[in-house]
């Protein structure tokens, strides 16, 4: 496990080469990908956030740490994704308008895919009309919204309003998440569910899909 502490440090330091090599090694040695993710990779991003808050890190450091995180995530992702089974439902996922954070969104997408959902990844800075299109044209049954900024949380509300205006709100379940988001906020804006992490997002999506198929 000594190596995995080094993985934490490699991500915090933004050393993408090292974090990727350590992740690959851990996977080869049979360490559980969930453990790598939950015990080392996500805490590393939390540490990066803490340093940003205390002005030890600035945006360039955030970016290089995020790049290291993404490199490791690419290796973990295939292990989270199950194969073969018929999709339980179709999830259109995106980070809402104005927001460029996608690490959490990508994790949730990977876990949902691993949990048996088909994923339509709309990316970042996604306008409400793109979510509407995903429902109308691609038959999404769940809309998953991610926001990491308090200033972009209102885009979640706007997206739900957009779905209502387009007359498709009752065809989909809306789930939301991201560091500043809360259950209270989900209730306020009329979302169908909220979860604070990628694993419970799968349970939530499953629960909401029961009876829909
Ligand atoms: C990396 C990072 C960046 C990177 C993003 C790179 C990328 N490709 O994502 C860059 C450098 C681009 C960036 C930019 C900015 N950032 Co930034 N960033 C972060 C940082 C350090 C980590 C975020 C992260 O990836 N966390 C790890 C992931 C795994 O966690 P997560 O996203 O929360 O996701 C989990 C859950 O929330 C949940 N979840 C997430 N989405 C969803 C969706 C659904 C449907 C569900 C169910 C669950 C769910 O599951 C996930 C997995 O468990 C955070 C600090 C922090 N600790 O959050 C700041 C932070 C979010 N950033 C912040 C700020 C201020 C900014 C900037 C405004 C900085 C600037 N002055 O330019 C810009 C904004 C750019 C924009 N328009 O979006 C602030 C936000 C403050 C606030 N309250 O609004 C934070 C909190 C830092 C801080 N402490 O001040 N940032």
Task: For the chain, 213 residues long, give each residue's pLDDT as a single digit of tens.
Answer: 567 999 999 999 999 999 999 999 999 999 998 899 889 998 998 898 899 889 999 989 988 998 999 899 889 888 877 545 567 899 999 999 999 999 999 889 877 887 778 999 999 999 999 999 999 999 999 999 999 999 999 999 999 999 999 999 999 999 999 999 999 999 999 999 999 988 789 889 989 997 554
Whether ligand 1 lies within 6 angstroms of the CB of 180 is answered as yes
Q: Does residue 101 sit in the same domain as residue 164?
A: yes
Of 180, 208, 176, 210, the C-alpha closest to 195 is 176
Specify the 3-state DSSP secondary structure of 177. strand
Q: pTM of the full predicted structure?
A: 0.88
Whether ligand 1 lies within 6 angstroms of the CB of 107 is answered as yes
Residue 150 included in any domain: yes
Q: Render 113-147 in DSSP notation, one character per residue.
A: HHTT-EEEE--SSB-HHHHHHHHHHH--SEEEEE-
Q: Which domain holds residue 27?
A: 2-80
Q: How far is the CA of 95 from the centre of ligand 1 (A)?
A: 10
Residue 85 included in any domain: no
Residue 177 included in any domain: yes
**Domain count across the chain:** 2
Report the CATH number that the domain containing residue 175 is assigned in CATH.
Answer: 3.40.50.280
User: CA 189: distance to chain centroid?
Assistant: 20
Q: How far is the CA of 50 from the centre of ligand 1 (A)?
A: 12
Mutate to test the pocket of ligand 1, among 37, 101, 114 (most ligand atoms within 8 A of CB): 101
Distances (CA, A) of 177 to 48, 64, 90, 96, 146: 20, 24, 18, 11, 5
Q: Does residue 112 sit in the same domain as residue 39?
A: no
C-alpha 161/C-alpha 182 separation (Å) is: 19
Q: How far is the CA of 84 from the centre of ligand 1 (A)?
A: 33
């Amino acid at each position: 496990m000594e190596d995995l502490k080094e993985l934490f440090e490699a991500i915090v330091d933004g050393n993408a080469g090292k974090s990727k090599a350590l992740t690959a090694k851990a996977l080869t040695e049979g360490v559980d990908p969930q453990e790598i993710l939950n015990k080392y990779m996500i805490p590393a991003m939390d540490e990066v956030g803490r340093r940003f808050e205390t002005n030890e890190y600035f945006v360039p450091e955030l970016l290089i740490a995020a790049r290291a995180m993404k490199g490791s995530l690419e290796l973990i992702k295939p292990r989270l994704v199950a194969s073969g089974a018929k999709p339980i439902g179709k999830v259109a996922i995106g980070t809402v308008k104005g927001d460029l954070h996608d690490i959490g969104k990508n994790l949730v997408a990977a876990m949902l895919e691993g949990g048996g959902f088909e994923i339509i990844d709309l990316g970042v800075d996604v306008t409400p009309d793109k979510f509407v299109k995903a429902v109308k044209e691609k038959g999404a049954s769940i809309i998953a919204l991610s926001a990491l900024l308090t200033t972009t949380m209102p885009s979640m509300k706007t997206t739900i309003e957009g779905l209502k205006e387009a007359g498709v709100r009752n065809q989909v379940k809306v789930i939301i998440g991201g560091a500043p988001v809360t259950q209270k906020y989900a209730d306020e804006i009329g979302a169908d569910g909220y979860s604070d992490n990628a694993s419970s997002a799968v349970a939530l999506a499953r629960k909401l899909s029961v009876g829909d198929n």
